[in-house]
Amino acid sequence: MSDRSPAQHSEAQPTGASPEAEAHQPDSAEDWHRLHPLSPLIRGWIVVLAVLGVLLSNVMDGFFRGDGPGLNDSAEGLPGWASMLESTVLWLVLLLVGALVVVGLLVGVALFSLVAWWFTTYQITDTHVRLRQGALARQERQTRLDRVQALDIRRPLGARIFGLAELSFEVADAGESAVVLRYLTHAHARRLRSQLLSRSRPQPEAPAEAGDAEAALPWARAAVPAAAQDHGAEQLLLRVPVSRVLLSWALSPSMVMLVVVGAAALAALIFFPEFMGAAFAGWIPVVVGLVVSLFQRLEKTWGFSAYRTDSGLRLRYGLLNTVSQTVPTGRIQALKVNRPMLWRRPGWSRVSINVAGYGDPAEEMNGSGRTTLIPVATDEHLAIMLAEALGADESREAFETARYGLTADLVEDPESRFTISPRRAARISWVVRRRRGFAVTRREVVTIDGRLSRTACLVPHGKIQSMEISRGPLARWLDLSDVSLHSIQGPVSPMIMAMDREVAERFVSEQSLRAHEKHTLVGARG
């Protein structure tokens, strides 16, 4: 077993061999590498800070409350100055003991981290990536490279300080990264990702060519910068300007809720000051949760840029923790275009996706998940991303249908392409009845829902895995049905709600035929 770190490995190469050529060579059966020597420092400092925070909080809380050692001795007859002196001495002793505890903690964490680092090795062959961990209980994780859907690079704040990054191998239907290498040098991680992607299998469904996308979407061509940059195998598609990031952040639902809570707290302080103390304790968790949600959304949006690569879309974003994420466009199963109420006037949208290997819908609740295709998009940027995700020949009709459903009056327009809920559905959904419907295009099913915050879901015919018709007691009384379009796990859950029963049953029957024809066509092409 080799004890060389990745940095050392890259230096130990024959004369005249480039780092790219060296790293491109697969590892042999005995060629194992250790992570960067600074990895224990980056992974262990969070634990140290947490313990220090708890200790400091307890010490300061006791000091300011005045219930520490020696402060009650004046009641036993000692003068006030003697009691204060004794208290100061005892506090100094306590701080000294605390400092010794902290030093011992640091040494213990350092030793534990070093042992963990020493027994953590990885290997990358032509077929597998393997990760071994554990000193006493040995654990080995391995992933087949032909099942890897994406290779993402993440740079937390601590890693960025030392020029390091983590490389994660995303596997279909894993829900989380199958193998994560924490940490490598940023240059080594990028080089390794590029080389693994270059020799990976071709995508099942290739993304659209640039020329086709521009021919089908003239408005998308106008949104791409005139001086589109090529970064090796990357072509810049779009960047979200900082002004739009900050304005969308200020108009987000979390910010609106924070303003409402702040106004309520101020009103309570003015009109009911006697209850302020009790109410303050209840408001703290709400405020903290809103602030965390706002920061996570800003973190996801800041510096967002999208690139076209041979392996799919490459997304880069992050304020403190930067991420370089690869989205394989051929694996996108469904899309959701969400337009919050305050975003409707500027015409902005947020696009989420279901893609194999990125299946944690909980992350999407606060906008911090990996399933966000673009956090804030104009119509032009929306057209670009749909062209990349669906293909140029499919995206134009999908874009126009989704935009129509998000902006038009589906009831008043006699030429509406959407089938909406019948009038009797207003008895159970009178608020959104006029905003619920579906449309079938040549390639996709598009569903619309929402009154204030509007949502359009797009599912290609061949990506629908199954369908389900459900009817509650009130729905049976009104002769209505809901249709669920099942996709893989993710933030997109398309549903056609409160439809006429006959319309729902006819849709399921016809959609089954469309999906079968699509699968047959794809199989014939393969």
Say which CATH number the domain at 192 has: 2.30.29
Domain-embedded: residue 205: no
More confident residue, 30 or 471: 471
Residues 246 and 135 in one domain: no
Domain-embedded: residue 97: yes
CB-based contact 235:314 (threshold 8 Å): no
Could you say which of 198, 231, 251 is where a domain stops? Answer: 198
Is the pLDDT reported for residue 218 higher than 80? Answer: no
Closest CA to 485 of 496, 475, 501: 496
Residues 217 and 179 in one domain: no
pLDDT band at 65 (very low <50, low <70, confident <90, very high): low
CB-based contact 95:62 (threshold 8 Å): no
Q: What is the pLDDT of residue 220?
A: 52
Q: What is the pLDDT of residue 384?
A: 93
Domain-embedded: residue 513: yes
The mean pLDDT of 71-80, rounded to a whole number, is 49
CA–CA gap between residue 209 and residue 226 (Å, rounded) = 17
Is the pLDDT reported for residue 16 higher than 60? Answer: no
Domain-embedded: residue 324: no
Residues 84 and 180 in one domain: no
Total domains in the chain come to 4
Q: What is the pLDDT of residue 44?
A: 64
Residues 374 and 441 in one domain: yes
Q: What is the pLDDT of residue 46?
A: 62
pLDDT digits (tens, 9 = 90+) for 160-203: 888 999 998 877 655 556 788 989 999 999 988 888 877 654 44
Residues 64 and 84 in one domain: yes
Residues 69 and 166 in one domain: no
pLDDT digits (tens, 9 = 90+) for 324-337: 998 888 889 999 99
**pTM confidence score:** 0.74
CA–CA gap between residue 413 and residue 514 (Å, rounded) = 27
Closest CA to 222 of 381, 344, 375: 381
Domain-embedded: residue 374: yes
Residues 184 and 236 in one domain: no
Helices 80-118 and 39-65, axial angle in degrees (round to 10): 160
Could you tell me how far CA 39 lies from the centroid of its own chain? 24
Q: How many other C-beta atoms lie within 10 A of the C-beta of residue 322?
A: 20
Helices 276-301 and 242-250, axial angle in degrees (round to 10): 150
Lowest-confidence segment of 111-125, 128-142, 218-232, 489-503 by average pLDDT? 218-232
Residues 152 and 133 in one domain: yes
CA–CA gap between residue 264 and residue 279 (Å, rounded) = 11
Is the pLDDT reported for residue 226 higher than 50? Answer: no
Could you say which of 98, 118, 138 is where a domain stops? Answer: 118
Which residues is 495 bridged to in the sheet? 484
Domain-embedded: residue 204: no
Residues 277 and 413 in one domain: no
- Residue 153: phi, psi to the nearest 5? -115, 125
The mean pLDDT of 15-42, rounded to a whole number, is 65
Residues 183 and 283 in one domain: no
Is the pLDDT reported for residue 1 higher than 60? Answer: no
Q: What is the pLDDT of residue 211?
A: 41
CB-based contact 142:130 (threshold 8 Å): yes
What sign does the dihedral 359-364-370-375 (CA atoms) show?
positive
More confident residue, 248 or 279: 248
Could you say which of 86, 118, 150 is where a domain stops? Answer: 118
Domain-embedded: residue 466: yes
Residue 307, preceding bond cis, omega within 30 degrees? no
Residues 74 and 182 in one domain: no
Domain-embedded: residue 326: no
Element (H, E) at 399: helix 392-407
> Quick one: what percent of the chain has pLDDT higher than 90?
29
Residues 240 and 171 in one domain: no
DSSP class per residue in 268-330: HHHH-GGGHHHHHHHHHHHHHHHHHHHHHHHHHHTT-EEEEETTEEEEEE-SSSEEEEEE-GG
Q: Residue 157 is part of which domain span?
A: 6-35+120-198
